[in-house]
A = this chain, B = another copy of it.
Amino acid sequence: MASGARKAISRHDASSRLPRYLQVASVLRRRIRDGFWAVGDKIATLEQLEREFGVARVTVRQSIELLQGEGLLRSHQGRGTFVTKALENKRWIHLATDWESLVEPIRDNVVELLPTLDAPRAPMIGDDEGRPAPSYAYLRSVQKRGSEPYALARVHVAREIFARAPKRFAARPALAVLAEMKGIPIAQAHQTLSISAADVETARHLEIAISAPTAEARCIVTDENDVVIYVGEVTYPGDVVRLNIELIDRRRR
């Protein structure tokens, strides 16, 4: 008994409504992800884990079976349980930190327009974000990569601009169309990222669980007169979004 601080998962804790075997699994998964146990390592024995988490043997086994199903672990009778796979993450959607890399990757995206049930209402624009245009066109779409949905977009485009190419706006990402238009001087483009959870509708369109983490990107574009010509709210499944930020780079390239 390696003098470990035992942190039995308490029964009455509010957060303990998640089944015990899933809580244990989540701790084990983290230990693998963080490299506490590397691939090939033998993890703690059932008995040690029973004691550490204060759960029954069968419960620990249930957790391990779950992780075996995920291909992370493999048990061998008489020998122990071993890590068989590193936890590697999927392919990421890299969020842009400049205009070019915002527009470039979505240039050729397939969008699938959604019916706009609710009357297109004016976008919410903060006082410091610019002056609203007289009127906006409103579009909702699901962006797909192959057959997989990866973003849900709700977009307001100044009606005057939308009117110049309504068909293009219906077929391609609004930002891409905007970027290619002649004679639209963009003075300012700003993006805000926040984190939320999928509501029922978002979950359906993105094919994720309700309450699953999501990234909400809100992008605002203004013209030379400080008029807001584009407001886009895009929701991504949280598990595919990644953002790289260069804080300092003094290396020679």
Known A35-B121, A99-B248, A187-B250; contact A192-B16, beta-carbon cutoff 8 A: no
**CB 8 Å contact bits of A111-136 with B (1 = contact, 0 = none):** 00001011001101000000000000
Among listed A143-151, A165-173, A201-209, interface-contacting one = A201-209
Chain A residues touching B, range = 35 or more
Question: Contact: A238 with B213, CB < 8 Å?
Answer: yes
Question: Contact: B4 with A117, CB < 8 Å?
Answer: yes
Known A250-B187, A251-B187; contact A12-B192, beta-carbon cutoff 8 A: no
Cβ of A77 within 8 Å of any chain B Cβ, yes or no, is: no
Q: Could you tell me which residues of chain A, from 167 to 198, have a CB within 8 Å of some CB in chain B?
A: 186-197
Question: Contact: B210 with A244, CB < 8 Å?
Answer: no
Known A242-B192, A247-B191; contact A209-B121, beta-carbon cutoff 8 A: no
* Cβ contacts under 8 Å, A251 to chain B: 187-188, 226
Cα distance A196–B18 in the bound complex, in angstroms: 17
Residue of B nearest to A192 (CB): B244
Question: Contact: B213 with A197, CB < 8 Å?
Answer: yes
* Sample of 8 further A-B pairs with CB below 8 A, known A27-B201, A35-B121, A189-B249: A9-B200, A15-B204, A17-B18, A26-B200, A31-B118, A96-B245, A188-B248, A193-B243
